[in-house]
Amino acid sequence: MASPYLPIREIGEIPLVREGETFQSITDRIARVTEDKTPRNWWIAFGISLCFLGLLGVCVGYLLWEGVGVWGNNSPSYWGWDITNFVWWIGIGHAGTLISAILFIFRQKWRTSINRFSEAMTIFAVMCAGLYPGIHVGRAWYAYYMFPVPNQMSIWPNFKSPLMWDIFAVSTYFTVSLLFWYVGLIPDLATLRDRSMNPRRQKVYGFLALGWRGSNRAWQHYERAYLILAAISTPLVLSVHSVVSFDFATSVLPGWHTTIFPPYFVAGAVYSGFGLVMTLMLVARLIYGVKSIVTTQHLELMCKVMLLTSSLVGYAYAMEFFIAYYSGNTWERAWAWMRITGPYWWAWIPMVGFNAVLPQLFWFKFFRTNLAALMVISILVNVGMWFERFVIIVGSTYHDFIPGSWGYFRPTIIDIGTYAGTMGLFFTLFLLFLRWLPMIAIAEVKGVIPASDPHGEEGHEYHSNEGGAHDPDLEPVPGE
């Protein structure tokens, strides 16, 4: 086999999927998870998640009954854990789109093993995030004000408000992610349909698979649609967290108003999302035995993406602090100084430590391949990113311009319960996904194993593509 696309070992390339995997083995390995008897561990995890989901119900119910006073938000910090959690969850979602769209456009084929997984994560994370604006308004039954419908004053929403932009950005993001995810699922649902032994499964998966026949005429449009979705999701994912950052940056508050916020938020979002993908992947890999498909190489590559995005975040921190100094503006300088020495110094330390410093360990192969280290770091990444949002939101509001209105934000038990509850929502949905849908894109993984190359077969010499004029696809069939 002379295909130049084979891994070049001299420069450290290794196959994406462990050698020896065939179309059949890949299908079996992934589809079996949804077909076998539910493992006991799954039930345990599901039970715990349901408890947390119940906690969310209780906390939200109490909030709606009593009003937002049950949270710690109060003057001068009118935004507290609610918006922190909103931004955190939205950010986590971004890795899914990055993996499914941006890496697709960059032809990073290693994404095939993790994209389904992280797309599902995106959708569930955005659902958790989307909960907050609804309950944050206090009187949730007026949440429809967020949409462009006239209210009783015959007034329209203020489209100059970044919060309105947020509504459009987040709902578009959710819708497009869902479409993208479903389109990716169609061929795999057909696989589950064709493998299913019992008629009920066959009916359900068959219905969802829309009668997919793997027809090349259909693949052609399918691939184009997938490419277009990837192409439009790429600016979309940039826009969503940019719009979230506009919520802060359009203000005149020192620490919020800075022009680097949009790309900085996007980098941070992708970073935290990769952290969570890593955490979940390590667990799923352990439980479901997909190590040959999600190899150490995948984990290493994810580490590298995290190193990159962490460095971008570090760059943004550096720019913020440098410009705070460079501006010569007392108030700009003050917020920077208060970040480090103010009463919330304890939040700033993990923010910088976990986001900008800790991932620098990924320069070393040891940390990129040691599963225990990965597990710890990937969790700390999300802790750090949570603190980043907390530092930005509370750390910029607790000191008003007038010392008379300085305050100190403390979360209440309901704040904490709601946050823990969203975890319950997330994991409940995620476990259902693991149980009932293929967690790895079967069709896409098949497309990256060597046997998928129609020219990689025996006896086919690979000819150079002479300026595109020579068509390697039109080689004569051997023996003809």
Partner 1 sequence: MSDDNEKKTEEKKVAVVPKAKPSEKADIAAKNTDKHKAGEYVLREGNTWANAWKFAAGVGALGLALSAAGWMNDPRRFAFSYLFAFMAVLTPALGTLFFVLQQHLTSSGWSVTIRRTAELFASGLIVFAILFLPVWMTRAKLFPWVEGGEAARAEVGHGEAAATHTTAAELAQPATGQDEAPGQRRPQHEPAGAEMTGPGADHAPHAEHGPGAHEPVLNANERGEHGDPEELEAEHTVHLKRGYLNEGFFGIRAIVYLAIWAWLGFAFLGRSTKQDTTKDPKITVGLRRFSCAAVYLFGFTLTFAAFDWVMSLEPLWYSTIFGVYVFAGCAVSAYALLILVTMGIRSSGVLVKEINVEHYHDMGKLMFGFVVFWAYIAFAQFMLIWYAAIPEEVQFFHLRWDHGPWATVSLALIGLNFIVPFFLIISRNTKRRLGVLAFGSAWLFIMHIVDVYWLVMPNFGQDGFNVSWIDLVCLLGVGGAYLAVVLYRMSTTPLIPIGDPRLQRALQFENA
Partner 2 sequence: MSDDPKNKQTRKEGLEQAAREALERAGTETKSPEDAKTDPMTGEKRKEIDGPKLPPEERGAAGKKTQKLALLLAEYPTPGRCLHAAEKLRAAGYTKFDAHTPFPVHGMDRAMGLRDSRLGWIVITAALTGTSCAFLMMWWMNCIDYPLIIGGKPASVSSIASMVPIMFELTILFSAFAAVFGMFAMNKIPMHHHPIFESDRFRAFSTGKFFISVEAQDPKFKLEKTRDFLEKTHADFVELVLEPAAEHK
Stretch that binds partner 1, among 2-10, 125-133, 134-142, 419-427 (CB under 8 A): 2-10
254 lies in the site for partner 1, by CB under 8 A: yes
Dihedral angle at the C-alpha atoms of 63, 67, 68, 71, nearest 10 degrees?
A: -50
332 lies in the site for partner 1, by CB under 8 A: yes
315 lies in the site for partner 1, by CB under 8 A: yes
Q: Which does 7 bind (CB under 5 to 8 A by kind): partner 2, partner 1, none?
A: partner 1
Least distance in Å: CB of 289 to partner 1?
Answer: 29
Interface with partner 1 (CB under 8 A), residue from 38, 43, 47, 106 = 106
319 lies in the site for partner 1, by CB under 8 A: yes
Q: Which does 320 bind (CB under 5 to 8 A by kind): partner 2, partner 1, none?
A: partner 1
Please identify which residue in the block is written with the tokens 């479903």.
Answer: 182
Least distance in Å: CB of 222 to partner 2?
Answer: 6
Q: Which does 260 bind (CB under 5 to 8 A by kind): partner 1, partner 2, none?
A: partner 1
Applying the rule CB under 8 A, the residues between 147 and 186 that interact with partner 1 are: none
Interface with partner 1 (CB under 8 A), residue from 320, 388, 415, 444 = 320
462 lies in the site for partner 1, by CB under 8 A: yes
Can you say whether the dihedral through the CA atoms of 101, 126, 355, 423 is positive or negative? negative
363 lies in the site for partner 1, by CB under 8 A: yes
Answer whether 284's CB lies under 8 Å from 118's CB. Answer: no
**How remote is the C-alpha of 330 from its chain's centroid?**
38
Least distance in Å: CB of 212 to partner 1?
Answer: 21
Q: Which among 276, 266, 274 is positioned nearest to 236, based on CA atoms?
A: 266
- Which residues touch 8 (CB under 8 Å, ≥6 apart)? none
Least distance in Å: CB of 381 to partner 1?
Answer: 19
Interface with partner 1 (CB under 8 A), residue from 115, 242, 310, 396 = 242
Least distance in Å: CB of 210 to partner 1?
Answer: 24
Answer whether 181's CB lies under 8 Å from 226's CB. Answer: no
Q: Which does 296 bind (CB under 5 to 8 A by kind): partner 1, partner 2, none?
A: none
CA distance 140 to 406: 29
Can you say whether the dihedral through the CA atoms of 339, 341, 347, 351 is positive or negative? positive
Least distance in Å: CB of 260 to partner 1?
Answer: 4
What is the amino acid identity at position 67? G
Answer whether 269's CB lies under 8 Å from 98's CB. Answer: no
Which pairs count as long-range contacts for 465-472, CB under 8 Å and 24+ apart, including other chains?
none
Q: Which does 210 bind (CB under 5 to 8 A by kind): partner 1, partner 2, none?
A: partner 2
Q: Which among 113, 104, 117 is positioned nearest to 21, based on CA atoms?
A: 113
Q: Which does 96 bind (CB under 5 to 8 A by kind): partner 2, partner 1, none?
A: none
Q: Which two tokens stand for residue 76?
A: 């001068």
Residue 147 vs 325, nearer CB to partner 1:
325
Interface with partner 1 (CB under 8 A), residue from 38, 215, 220, 259 = 259
258 lies in the site for partner 1, by CB under 8 A: yes
261 lies in the site for partner 1, by CB under 8 A: yes
Answer whether 62's CB lies under 8 Å from 70's CB. Answer: yes
Least distance in Å: CB of 200 to partner 1?
Answer: 38
Applying the rule CB under 8 A, the residues between 273 and 312 that interact with partner 1 are: 311
Answer whether 442's CB lies under 8 Å from 30's CB. Answer: yes
Least distance in Å: CB of 249 to partner 1?
Answer: 5
Least distance in Å: CB of 107 to partner 1?
Answer: 8
**How remote is the C-alpha of 25 from its chain's centroid?**
28
What is the three-class DSSP state of 260? coil
* DSSP state at residue 156: -
37 lies in the site for partner 1, by CB under 8 A: no
* DSSP state at residue 74: B
# residues contacting partner 1 (CB under 8 A): 60
* DSSP state at residue 439: S
Compute how many other C-beta atoms are within 10 angstroms of the C-beta atom of residue 99: 29
Q: Which two tokens stand for residue 459?
A: 């006896």
401 lies in the site for partner 1, by CB under 8 A: yes
Question: Would you tell me the crossing angle of helices 261-288 and 413-436 to the nearest 10 degrees?
Answer: 50
Residue 219 vs 408, nearer CB to partner 2:
219
CA distance 419 to 59: 9
Contacting residues toward partner 1, per CB under 8 A? 1-13, 105-107, 235, 238, 242, 246, 249-252, 254, 257-263, 311, 315-316, 318-320, 323, 325-332, 363, 400-402, 461-468, 472
